[in-house]
Structure 1
Amino acid sequence: MRMRFIKKLAVLAALVIPMQAFAEDPLKVGFVYVGPIGDHGWSYQHDQGRLALEEHFGDKVQTTYVENVNEGADAERTIRRLAQAGNDVIFTTSFGFMNPTARVAKEFPEKTFLHATGYKRSDNLGTYLSKTFEGRYVTGIAAGQVTETNKLGYIASFPIPEVIRDINSTFLAARKVNPNVELKVVWVNTWFDPAKEADAANTLMDQGVDVIIQHTDSPAAMIAAEKRGVWAVGQASDMSHFGPTAHLLSVVDDWSPYYIETVQDVMDGTWESKDYWGGIKEGDIVIASISDRLTDEQRAKVDETIEAIRTGELHPFTGPLKDQSGKLRLEEGETMTHEQLAGMDWYVEGMTATLPK
């Protein structure tokens, strides 16, 4: 009798211990980055969000990341490996990861996938984006006020909607405070290549540009601007320490709130696929380290713009708005929807640059 009782206890223990271990298993969360986490830009900021996630949840989560992933077949293999390795939630953080993410999400319907800057969704695949165009509008207000040559320069990565709408937002804001502004654009066809970014910055400065704005991820443009005594704007992270004199402001992407909220929803079983856009109001876009070289009047205009966007009083894309050909795109008082913003493939009226074919 005693031996049978001990054996029953042993069987119960064998059942209970694995169940307890299972209950205590952390949620595994994977991240895929297009650049290195040391780029001081886009991938760096996503990784800061990952670290904030770990700090917030402690041993309730286990995170991993893969950096320098090429957009295409490499991305699909990497995402699939993360799913096969047991990651419950996978964040893919570049526009070119969209189709690979969608394909792998179909293969693993029990897992949750989130893709940054894309538009394809399914039951287990959501999309998310920061409203960088809000930060670019603030950039344009500042740049339009400080330029002395009336020539601003924009180092652009790829001609995708995210980049095009940020160029447009910068230009619209700059023209609001300075009708004589011209915005020159150099396309470098890369997200991260310090040598190309520095060359693009120098090319623009050779053309008389005295404010450099970038949609690439290294601080090379800021460093080049510092050497030549012109203004520059930081991308994704606070780049002020790379150009203490040149730095006008930085448009910082803070992914921490979104990552924490999303993982909490998955843990609670309340997550649903959606298209998330977060900006200045949500704390996902932060205007950092505004230069103290601005006059009181210039700084006041920048602060007023930030506050107007935060309260919803100002939307960067509000009609009437025409495109480069003169076609009316937005009626008087109309604001652009997320769907329209997500598909932007045209320059606004007044832009003299030409979009790549």
Structure 2
Amino acid sequence: MKIKFLPLQPNCFAFGGFEIQIQNNLKANEKIGLDVSKLDIWDRSRDFEVLHCWGLGLPNYDSIMWGKKANKKVVLSLLLYDYDTLLSKIKFKLSSYIGIQRYLLQMLAKVDAVSVVNEIQAETCNSLYRVPEHKIHIIPNVVDSGYFNARMESIPANSEFMDYLIVVGNVCSRKNQLMLAEACIKNAVNLLIVGKIMDGEEVYGQRLKKLVDHHANLRWIYGLTENSNELINYYKNAIGLVLPSSVEQQPLSALEAGILGKPVLLGNCTYAKQEIFRNACLVNPASLGSVSDGIKQLVRDPGNYLLDETKLMDCHETNTAAAYKKLYEGL
């Protein structure tokens, strides 16, 4: 069985946690012997059985429709918004009749299987997007084996910058690095920021840069290669992962830090209620006082905010690859 991966948009225009997931899953699935590769949109050959699209959006609409006409099995891996308020559900309902959701619902009705990262997303997929339960597969984000292998390894501490909290990911208002930096200044706690400025967030990034430039307890590394030893070492030397984000699905950085035995702080939003993040320290991402208090708690009692090792093992590449293998074989 040949499987072709197709992303929602070109990586040159958007590359974040979801795109890293596509790459990580491709590698993990190859390792267990699955015949999986990237779809070359310029290639006219059709010698494959499964089209695996990544991302719920209009760019994948025609690919899915034509894939079904060509008698391909179609899998869609998606991340959904949180429809956790009455207003958001009303807007969704209206859009399902006269807006973009109408086309997304048509697309989902055609696919043979859907994968989501957690039980919250699965419920939304079933209740709002009308995907039958038997088509929905919960497969968490895959974390590179390097993180699991590094758990017991000791590394020298960075004597130049010590006892720091770390936040990893594209710099943007959604991930809330600016408020996080302000909270660390307030608490006199060191903060290491790792990530590039997301396109369209340049003003936000400049505001963060000004703050970093004027405070010695803030450091900013403008992006590191995902899964690199350098990134893993920065995690290992950190005293905790802090991500008071307002919108996420299953943030990869929280999983990576959790696997390395670091306490985790997250925004008290829907995504943080999934089982894998049960022990995380939760804060109001809109409140500087709440974020500041959460940092104090994390630093004071780090052992209270460690993630469940058993749940994190589901994110090992051998386990996620086995889950996708089972999905493909059941089509």
Query: What TM-score do the two structures reach when normalised by structure 2?
Result: 0.40
Determine which structure has more spread, i.e. the larger CA radius of gyration. Answer: 1
